[in-house]
Amino acid sequence: MKVTVKVPATTANFGSGFDCFGMALPLFNIITIEETVLPGTGVEVNVVSDFQNNEDLAIEHIPKDENNIIYKAVEMLYNSIGQTPSELRITIKSSIPIAKGLGSSASIIVGGLLAANELLNKPADEAALLSIATEVEGHPDNVTPAIVGGFVITSLEEDGSIVYRNIDWPEDWVLNILIPDYELVTEISRSVLPAEVPMQHAVFNAGRTAMFVEALHSHDAELMKLALQDKLHQPYRSKLVPGVDEIFANLRHEEDVLGCTLSGAGPAILVISLKNKVERVKSIVTETWENYNVKTSFYSFKPELKGAEIIEVV
């Protein structure tokens, strides 16, 4: 039996919503898991990328055996029902840039879980898949929108369960994703975060997350400009992204630009704007990064409302 799953990219945090805001984006990884018939062949993982040159090194370092994160997720699902994975061939067709802050690891975790769940005749419901995916990924802000689509507020509860709610995204608010030509591994980006934060910074972010939700509900662009501000993670992570402070400053006073944040752990940047500002945003970010000898890839998106879906069972 062979199962193929299509999983969207994600962007997370949105500034103030550290580890609890996330959104699916219309870039996709395709994950196929096949039960092989030859005993003793073990696990085989193959990765094919739509991107060249700058991702070759990243792909070379992806484990091709049981140490791959997708296998770890699959193994956890099998173990949850008292089984051990049989010989499997796993193929990842990657159209989501790796180590850029666009949920590449979350997408393959989710794809592996959905495919394995289908192979096992669907023993796990959505709640179980969310819990397992979050346990493997470490936080729910990417895996939740990868599974359910759209923009989500999501939380990991003490019992391991995931609580989430979808919120509609304003139709005229465009998501501009600008990706530099270098990688930033999430583990490194998390390593610079402090173990504790000042109380006033926690209070600041609590207020901004409340503003964010209200800005979405009321379609309030001026409130959103405040809501994207953050003191918990971006001041530390920005040091790992050359030029980001300058980019934020250059965009701050642009009319019809609602604000900018790191996408996930970075180094990609998310800029929210009206449609008439897309080319201006691209120009400012591209020119600023050129001063740092950084090349830029650019996407302009609406949210992807569909989460992961099985597209073939053979």
Residues 308 and 287 in one domain: no
CATH number, domain of 233, equals: 3.30.70.890
Encode pLDDT of 66-75 as tens digits.
778 899 999 9
The percent of residues in the chain predicted with pLDDT above 90, rounded, is: 82
Between residues 247 and 52, the one the model is more confident about? 247
Q: Which string of DSSP letters, residue by residue, matches 44-113?
A: EEEEEES--STTHHHHHTS--STTSHHHHHHHHHHHHTT----SEEEEEEE-S-TTSSS-HHHHHHHHHH
For the segment 24-35, the average pLDDT, to the nearest whole number, is: 95
CATH number, domain of 146, equals: 3.30.230.10
Residues 228 and 95 in one domain: no
CA-to-CA distance for 84 and 30, rounded, in angstroms?
24
- Tell me: pLDDT of 54 over 80: no
- Tell me: pLDDT of 56 over 80: no
What 3-state class would DSSP assign to 164? Answer: strand
Encode pLDDT of 117-142 as tens digits.
999 999 999 999 999 999 999 999 99
Residue 40 confidence (pLDDT): 61
- Tell me: pLDDT of 185 over 80: yes
Residue 68 confidence (pLDDT): 84
For the segment 10-27, the average pLDDT, to the nearest whole number, is: 97
Residue 142 confidence (pLDDT): 97
Residues 8 and 107 in one domain: yes
CA-to-CA distance for 211 and 221, rounded, in angstroms?
11
Residues 126 and 210 in one domain: no
- Tell me: pLDDT of 230 over 60: yes
Which residue from 185, 196, 287 is spatially nearest to 246, judged by alpha carbons? 287
- Tell me: pLDDT of 53 over 80: no
Which tokens belong to 170?
């304003």
Residues 162 and 215 in one domain: no
* Domain region containing 19: 2-168+303-313
The whole-model pTM stands at 0.93
Q: Which helix (H) or strand (E) holds 202?
A: helix 199-218
The percent of residues in the chain predicted with pLDDT above 70, rounded, is: 94
Residues 133 and 189 in one domain: no
Which residue from 122, 197, 125, 192 is spatially nearest to 161, judged by alpha carbons? 125
Residues 161 and 40 in one domain: yes
Task: Tell me the pLDDT band of 2, cut-offs 50, 70 and 90.
Answer: very high
Task: Tell me the pLDDT band of 57, cut-offs 50, 70 and 90.
Answer: very low
Encode pLDDT of 260-286 as tens digits.
999 999 999 999 999 999 999 999 999
Residue 187 confidence (pLDDT): 86
